[in-house]
Each structure stands twice: as structure tokens, then as C-alpha cells.
Amino acid sequence: MHILIANDHGAVELKAAIVAALSAKGHTVDNLGVDGPDSVDYPDRARLAAERYLAGGYDFGILCCGSGIGISIAANKIRGIRCAQVFDLYTAEMCKRHNDANFISFGGRVSYPVPVIEMIEAYMAAEYEGGRHAARVAKIEAGG
């Protein structure tokens, strides 16, 4: 898969671990995030990633900040982006199956019950079900 990832200073280590794990599995990961502790604004990273994704060529995106909340909110302000903050294997799977999420987010300062890479793999293995969920996703895209 061709994946993009972006992060702020609150998730440098998490981003590096994700990139390493996905690359080791043969995926192409484009890093649009930062690699050091200097403060950056997560809305800027979210916008950069969203614009790159919407230009085409990516299967999905991963966003990371300290909590995973702010960067997800910022991404969801951009038309065409459906970013789900993922907490466990269930939310990782269902955000794809029911909401057709094209981005997932994580927090670099969050302790998760399962490894983040396992949640990413659960997301990647899931398929959007469409059907009764399609009308709901259309309402999300329409802004209501």
C-alpha cells in the first residue's frame, strides 16, 4: 500500500515506529511529519497531509499528535477527509467498515491497550461495507 503519515512534535517516536513497521512489511510510507522536538502546529501537518492525499495516489493516511485529537479534528475540517481517532482493534476495523475513514489518528502520549501497528493492520484488513452505511457517509461528506 501507499500510505502517508504526518505528525507534530508530540508524536515523533510513534511516527518513527509506525514508518519502520510499515516499511518493513513492504509498504511505501511518505513522511510529511517532523522528526525532532521543535514545536510545530498540528493543523498545518493535517492540512499538508490532507491536500497530498486528495491529490491522489495514496491508499490512506495516518496522523499523529500528542493526543491524536487535535490533528484529527483539524483533518476533519477538510472536505473529503474522514479521519477516525482509533483506540483499539474494534475502532480500527469499524471506522473503515462503516465510515470509510481515509485517515486514522493516534496520540504519541497515549497508552494503548494493543500495539498501534496492530490497530493499523486491523484498519488495513477491513473493507468498507457500503450498503446502509453509504447514505450516512454521504451525509458526512455533505456536511450534515
Q: What is the pLDDT of residues 73-125, one digit of tens each?
A: 999 999 999 999 999 999 999 999 999 999 999 999 999 999 999 999 999 99
CA-nearest of 2, 4, 114 to 62 is 4
% pLDDT > 90, the chain: 92
Residues annotated as part of the active site: 65, 98
Binned at pLDDT 50, 70 and 90, residue 130 comes out as confident
Cross-strand pairs, 106 = 64
Could you give the number of structural domains in the chain? 1
CATH number at residue 100: 3.40.1400.10
Q: How far apart are CA 6 and CA 33, in angstroms?
A: 4
| Whether the predicted pLDDT of 19 surpasses 70 | yes
Q: How far apart are CA 10 and CA 25, in angstroms?
A: 25
Tell me which amino acid residue 137 is. Answer: V
| Whether the predicted pLDDT of 131 surpasses 80 | yes
| Whether the predicted pLDDT of 144 surpasses 70 | no
Please give the grid coordinates belonging to residue 86.
Answer: 482509533
Residue 141 has a pLDDT of 87
Binned at pLDDT 50, 70 and 90, residue 39 comes out as very high
Tell me which amino acid residue 3 is. Answer: I
User: Whole domain around residue 74: which residue ranges?
Assistant: 2-142
Q: What angle do CA 1, 100, 49 make, to 5 degrees?
A: 55
